[in-house]
Amino acid sequence: MKLATKFIYSIILYTIITLIVAGRAYAVNAPDFPACSNPQGQAVASYDSGIHGVPGDPTTYTGRDSVYSQGEGTLSQCLCTNSGQGIQTNWWKVSSLTTEEINILKSQGWILIPDGSAWGLSEGPYLAQNSAFACPAEKGGGNTGGGPGDGLSDGRSDGRGGSVLGAATSVLGLASTGNIMFILSMIAAGFALMGIGTFLNQKKN
Amino acid sequence: MNFISRLFIFTGFAFLIFGAFLVLLRYNGAKLSFDNFVEHQYITSGVMPQKIMISSIKVELPIFPAKIKGNKWEATDKGISYLSSSPIPGSQGNSILYGHNWSALLGSLPKIKPGDKIKIILSNGQEKNFVVKYTSMVAPSNTKILSDSADSRITLYTCAGFLDSKRFVATALLKN
C-alpha cells in the first residue's frame, strides 16, 4: 500500500475514533419529561385563558396554559393556543451544570434562560426546550399569535386542532417506510441507472 | 464517458442499497416499539377490542391482541395491534393501540386532528366512542406518553419521520 493511501486511511480512522470518543465524553443526559398529552407531576399553575410567551419565540400566544412540576428543578409547561396550536416547554434548572455542558445542550436545541425569575420560576439559570403538539381549538378562536390555523380562510375556527404536525410529518415522512410505491420506485430507479451506466460503458468499449 | 457511466452505476447502486434498507426497515418487527417500556398487567374480563373506525381519515380496521416479547413489540400487518397488557378501551386507564404506517393501515393517521372521533367495537358488541384531544410526534424514548392515566383514554400511534425514527401519537378520551 502506498504511503499516501496509508496516510488517508489513518486520517479517516482517527477522525471516526475521535468523533466516537468525543461524543461519549461530552454526552449530557437531560431529564425525561412527560408529554403534554399525558401530563404528570404536580400542577403548580393553570390559566384557562391569557397571553403567554414561549422561550426563544418573540410571538405572544393567547390560550390555556398549565405548568407541572416534575421535581428537582424540572417543570413541563403545556400551552394550548385558541387556534389549537400546542407548545410544550420543558424547563430544567441547570445551576449545577458547567458552561461547557450548557453549551452542548444549547447545540441540541435547548435555550438558556439566565434567570428563571423572569418567567415566574425560582432564581437561577434554566434551560428550556420547546416541542409542538396539536390540541383542541377554542370555538371561534381563530388564529392567535401568528400561529398556524386550521386552514379556514375566514379566520374562524371549526373547533378542531391546528395542522402544525401534519406539515412536519409530510416533509419528514419522505423517507419513511409507509409508502411502498416510493420504495419500489427507488429500487426501479436504481436498476435503471445501473442499466444506463452499463450500456454507456459497453458503448465506449 | 467513462466517468459518466461510472457515475450512473454508482448512483444506481446507491438507490438500490437505500431501497433495500427501506424494505428491511418496513418489515422490521421491532420498529413500532418504544424503548424500555415497563408493562403493567391489567385484569381483563375476557372482552377484547375487535374493530376500530375513524371516519375522518377513512380507517376501518380489525384489532388483534399483541404482546411485548423482550424489546420486540408484536405487530400485525392485517390491522391494528392492541397491547393486551393495557386496559380494555373504554375502561379506566391508557389503552395502547398501534399499527404500521402503511397506506392500508395507519398511513393516514398523521392527518387526524383534535376533535376527530374514534369508534372501537368490543367483542361483546359494545361500542366505545372517543374524541381525539391531542396529537404529537415523539421519540421512541418518550415512554411516558404510554403511562397509565386516571381517565379513560386510548393512545393510538404509528411510525413517522425520517426513516421511521419518530412516533406519531393520537390521544383520544372516552366520550361520555
Q: What is the pLDDT of residues A22-42, one digit of tens each?
A: 555 457 888 889 999 999 999
Provide the percentage of residues in chain A whose pLDDT is more than 70: 69
Q: According to the model, what pLDDT value does residue A153 have?
A: 31
> Which of A156-160, B90-94, B102-106 has the weakest average pLDDT?
A156-160
Q: What is the pLDDT of residues A125-140, one digit of tens each?
A: 999 999 999 999 886 6
Cβ contacts of A176 on chain B, cutoff 8 Å: 101, 159-164
CB contact under 8 A, B160 and A172: yes
Are B31 and B25 within 8 A, CB to CB? yes
> Which of A134-138, A139-143, B60-64, B129-133 has the weakest average pLDDT?
A139-143
Q: According to the model, what pLDDT value does residue B56 have?
A: 96
Q: Which residues pair with A74 in a beta bridge?
A: A71, A92
Cβ contacts of A193 on chain B, cutoff 8 Å: 8-9, 11-12, 15
CB contact under 8 A, B114 and A135: yes
CA distance A74 to chain B (A): 15
CB contact under 8 A, A34 and B145: yes
pTM of the model: 0.79
- Band of the pLDDT at B32, cuts 50, 70, 90? confident
User: What nine digits make up the cell of B175?
Assistant: 366520550
Q: According to the model, what pLDDT value does residue A83 have?
A: 93
Between the alpha carbon of residue A122 and those of residues A104, A107, A113, A149, A163, the distances in Å are 23, 24, 12, 34, 34
User: What nine digits make up the cell of A157?
Assistant: 375556527
> Which of A82-86, A174-178, B28-32, B104-108 has the weakest average pLDDT?
A174-178
Cβ contacts of A85 on chain B, cutoff 8 Å: none
Task: Look at residue B41 and tell me whether its pLDDT is greater than 80.
Answer: no
Q: What SS3 state is found at A98?
A: coil
User: What nine digits make up the cell of A202?
Assistant: 459497453
Q: What's the gap between Cα B145 and its chain centre? A: 13
Q: What is the pLDDT of residues A191-203, one digit of tens each?
A: 999 999 998 888 8
> Which of A74-83, B43-52, B109-118 has the weakest average pLDDT?
B43-52
User: What nine digits make up the cell of A176?
Assistant: 419513511
CA distance B139 to chain A (A): 11
Residues A169 and B11: their CA atoms lie apart, in Å, by 27
Task: Look at residue A10 and tell me whether its pLDDT is greater than 50.
Answer: yes
- What is this model's ipTM? 0.81
CB contact under 8 A, A37 and B107: no
Q: According to the model, what pLDDT value does residue A146 have?
A: 39
Nearest CA in chain B to A157: B115
Q: What percent of chain A is helix, strand and coil (3-state, nearest 5)?
A: 35, 25, 40
CB-nearest to B137 from A158, A169, A187 is: A169
Instruction: Calculate mean pLDDT across residues B114-141.
Output: 95
The residues in A 177-196 lying below 8 A from B, measured between CB atoms, are: 177-180, 182-184, 186-187, 189-196
- Which amino acid is residue A200, in one-letter code? L
Output the CA torsion B16→B19→B21→B25 (10° steps).
-160
Provide the percentage of residues in chain B whose pLDDT is more than 70: 97
DSSP code string of chain B:
-HHHHHHHHHHHHHHHHHHHHHHHHHT-TTTT--TTPPP-PPP--S--EEEEEEGGGTEEEEEEEE-EETTEEP--SSSEEEETTSPPBTBSEEEEEE----TTTTTTGGG--TT-EEEEEETTS-EEEEEEEEEEEE-TT-GGGGS--SSEEEEEEEEESGGG-EEEEEEEEE--
Q: Residue A138 has what DSSP assignment?
A: P
Q: What's the gap between Cα B75 and its chain centre? A: 9
Between CA A45 and CA A54, with CA A48 as vertex, the angle to 5 degrees is: 65
Cβ contacts of A37 on chain B, cutoff 8 Å: 133-136, 145, 169, 171
